[in-house]
Structure 1
Amino acid sequence: MPTSISSPLQSPIRKAIQTFPSQWLLLPQGTGIIAVILHQLDYQFPGLDVISYIFFLLTIILLLTTITIYLTRCILFPHTVTTALQQTQEEVACLTSISITYTSIIKFISLVLVSSWGPGWGTAAYILWWTNVFLAVIAIIGVPFVLLRLYPAQISHLSPASQLPMIAALTVAAGGGTISQNAGLSPQQQVPVIVVSYLFLGCGLPLAFGLDVLYWARLLDRSMLDRQHILQDMILCGPWGQASFGFQILGGAVLKGSFAGYNMGVFLTEEAAKPVGYGSIFVGVLLWGMGTFWWAWAVIGILHAGMGRRGKWMGIPYGLSAWSLVFPWGVYTNAAVQLGKLLDSTAFRVWSTVLTVMLVIIWLWNIGMTIRGLATGALLGLDEDCTTEEE
């Protein structure tokens, strides 16, 4: 029989678990991309690699912790979870952060552990990537289906968080290119990964573009996000930044001999490698341009929302949605890092470094505000009075 959640018998821990939303999964998602960027950044200083390892370990800890708590919530409070999934787009969309974070972990393994601890980690990254393909398929097909079935059809209700399933698919594609280049795989292993990765790009990018068009229609209708959720605008940068990196890294993998070593059929041959590889990198450059637009749009929108009528900074109410700033900013930065390497461009190296510094500052701000919210109970729902508890 339901009892009041404010009953003395109801512990704060159970209250916190009952109100634990899937938005908490944004924490490991944002932390993981920083680990990758810090390792790949062109301008290194002594100890930066150690910092990247710390972010990597923190990503794993945060992911396991948030998944465990969320699964506990599903077991103890299934009705609460079902209701939340039916009422909030973000609750459904943020579940795809599991696949996104998983890919970041796989990328870091292939970039760092293979060269440091041996080729066995390359095989591990290869196997883990294929398991993540299953999660990405669920994300790109299942989550949009649920969103369309459960939520109002009006464009005014479209949230930037609806892009997260597409980002999950594009992230798996980017991860496929990363392990193809860095995990020490044979051409027979690389080429299936590359082909599937291109399929994910073909699946995720057009859908992301379509949602961008619909969201632009919402903006033209003057249906803006409120100040509480304005930080989610940065999500719109995510698909383009990640797709840019995906095309770049896959193009590089093709040019490094994967097609030549495989050499089967008409397309997967040495002759096709150069046009495919260079064309892929060129597309990556174009997509980074689109990502730049949405990045600038989000930054301007956030600054505008935080300003009062007299130009005085009024601030933005803090919530877990603030973590939606980190990963999209990160993949946009990571694409700039890769462009700096491929183009041998000082401009991209400097700009990607500036973006990284700002990204780390945003992460530190989020961590500080999150710790504060945990201490006060505001982010755990302990300052709210829920009506019922499930037994």
Structure 2
Amino acid sequence: MAPNVSPSRIRVAIRDFTTQWFLIAQGTGILAIILHNLAYQFRGLGIISTILWVLTIVELCVMVLIYGIRWFLYPTEAAQALKTQTAELSCLASPVITFTTILIMIVLTLPDTWGKEWGMVAYVMWWINALFALIVVTAIPYCYAALELQDISTFPPSTQLPIISTLTCAAGGGAICNFGELSPDLQVPVIIVSYLFVGCGLPLALTMDALSLSRILTGSAPTTIKINQHMILCGPWGQGSFALQILGSVVMKGSFAAYDQGTWITEAAAGPIGYASIFAGLLFWGQGTFWFVFAMGQITHVLVANRKEISGWGLPVWSLVFPMGVYTNACIQLGKLLGSRAFNVISTILAVVLVIIWLVNMGFTIQGILRGTLFGLESGWKVPQVGIHDAQEKDAGSVQSTGRLSQHAGGPDNGHTNDRTNGSADKQTNGLTNSH
């Protein structure tokens, strides 16, 4: 341990670690996929994509480990956070989302270089992940009822993360069938389950969008840095669009024709199903475009109008990356299927913007980790030798106030449950982001 580093501060950081950190890993994962799939490639871009993929694996493993240690050392605090904060509960879907992006990169890179056995590895892991996605999309919304959320303002956009997990799993199923070099007998069950996941996710997204729009129109939307979470509303439609496009492509590649059983999984049905699926993907990308433009406009308006009150950087800014990423990935796929240069150019512009956002976020994240500010450590990791005991006790005692609020008020959203406990959430966030 470095000199003057207080052990109690490390414990405070572990105690303060929340599920919102997983937003970083899922954002890195989708960026790796985008750089691999981008229409306009340059030499070395594939290597950058692979590096980001490996970084995603490292981030996920480290974050799962730290979060597991938090549960081991502080089970009461960890459980209480899930019971009282919608953001903490919603972001439990992020590990499932991140793991799916890792599986997609496996089938995009390894079967061609290391053998088709990796397609089978991804296939088996996808089924395991599909089980977790099903649990997430059913259990987490059920738990929202236990939080006693009583009005529209208590359903922030972060509550759509469980929905995105099923749609991401569906997209992963299509990618595994398309690039994993699997037999039709293995592909068809994955295709069917993936379509079921799309049917599970998109209607729920439409319902939650209605609540979110009502929240915005009634003036309940946040006016702080948490406004970045509104980009999450674009996520289900962007990911649903990509899932339908890739599944339609797989159906028309011959999996249904080779399977040829029943009245629906046949060669005759493959064409209509595939074309209808791709067309639906185009339509849903249009819905995603509405939420993308709407969110960008609202984020810009709030940040400009409240620029004096909003300063610093916080974890909610990571809410931009994954939803914008899946929207971009769907645009890339449309460019391939339609042979459209316009979609290729648009997706490239979006990818460049996304890379810039990711780099800025990662820079501030590393800075916040090194300084300890993202863990609520006001004086950093190190303390002076004089009065070190008092400083340690101060850090340990401030977990319930400065430390936890620094992340939880700065996460995607905590709903009125956190507001009722600690006062105005917006007021908390403004004060804490200034300290960042």
| TM-score, normalization by structure 1 | 0.94
User: Match for residue 324 of structure 1?
Assistant: 319
Which of these residues, 357, 366, 381, is aligned with residue 362 of structure 1? 357
**1:321 & 1:124 partners in 2: Cα distance?**
34
Map 1:128-167 → 2, pairs under 5 A: 128-167=125-164
Q: What is the deviation of 1:183?
A: 0.1
Amino acid at match of 1:111: L
User: What amino acid sits opposite 2:202 in the alignment?
Assistant: L
Q: In the TM superposition, what are the counterparts of 1:28-43 in structure 2 within 5 Å?
A: 28-43=25-40
Matched residue, 1:189: 186
Q: Deviations over 1:167-213 (max 9, x none)?
A: 00000000000011100000000000000000000001100100001
- Look up the match of 1:73: 70
In structure 2, list runs of 5 or more residues that go unmatched.
Answer: 379-394, 404-436
C-alpha contact 1:307 1:315 (8 A) present in aligned 2 = no
Deviations 1:33-66 (A, max 9, x none): 0111100101000000000000000000000000
- Residue 9 of structure 1 and its aligned partner are, at CA, apart by 7.9
* Cα distance between partner residues in 2 of 1:193 and 1:139: 19
How far the C-alpha of 1:387 sits from its partner, in A, is: 4.9
1:186–1:13 Cα change, 3 Å: same
Does 2:244 align with 1:231? Answer: no
Question: Where does residue 303 of structure 1 map in the other structure?
Answer: 300
Is 2:257 aligned against 1:244? no
CA distance in structure 1 between the partners assigned to 2:185 and 2:282 by the alignment: 28
> What letter corresponds to residue 247 of structure 1 in structure 2?
L
Q: Kindly report the root-mean-square deviation, in angstroms, between the aligned alpha carbons of the 2 structures.
A: 1.6
Q: Is contact 1:306–1:316 with CA below 8 Å preserved after alignment?
A: no
Q: Give the letter for the 1:295 counterpart.
A: F
Is the 2:36–2:49 Cα contact (8 Å) retained in structure 1? yes
How far apart are 1:386 and its partner, in Å?
A: 2.1
Q: What's the CA shift string for 1:205-226, capped at 9, x where partnerless? A: 1001000011111112111123
* Identity across matched positions, percent: 50
1:326-374: CA deviation from partner (whole Å, max 9, x where unpaired): 0000000000000000000000000000000000000001001111111
| Equivalent position of 1:4 in the other structure | none
CA contact (8 A) 1:205 1:243 kept: yes
Distance change in 2, residues 1:313/1:356 (3 Å): farther
2:399 pairs, out of 375, 386, 389, with 386
Q: Secondary structure at the match of 1:268?
A: coil
For residues 148 and 239 of structure 2, the distance between their equivalents in structure 1, rounded to whole angstroms, comes to: 27
Matching residue of 1:291:
288
Contact 2:225 2:310 in 1 (8 A): no
- Say if 2:372 is the partner of 1:377: yes
Q: Report deviation, 1:380.
A: 1.4
Question: Do the aligned partners of 1:307 and 1:314 also contact (CA within 8 Å) in 2?
Answer: no
Q: In 1, are the aligned partners of 2:334 and 2:343 still within 8 Å (CA)?
A: yes
CA 1:316–1:359: 2 relative to 1, 3 Å = farther
CA change 1:135–1:316 in 2 (3 A) is: farther
Aligned length: 380
1:87–1:151 CA contact under 8 A, matched in 2: no
Q: Which residue of 2 aligns with 1:123?
A: 120
- Asked whether the 8 Å contact 2:225–2:303 carries over to 1, the reply is no
Query: What SS does structure 1 have at the residue aligned with 2:159?
Result: helix
1:100 to 2:97 alignment: yes
Change (3 A) 1:265 1:324: same
Q: 1:335 to 1:387 in 2, by over 3 A?
A: closer
SS of the residue 2:225 aligns to? coil
In 2, are the aligned partners of 1:32 and 1:104 still within 8 Å (CA)?
yes
Contact 1:228/1:317 (8 A) holds in 2: no
Please report how far the alpha carbon of residue 152 of structure 1 lies from its aligned counterpart in structure 2 after TM superposition: 1.6
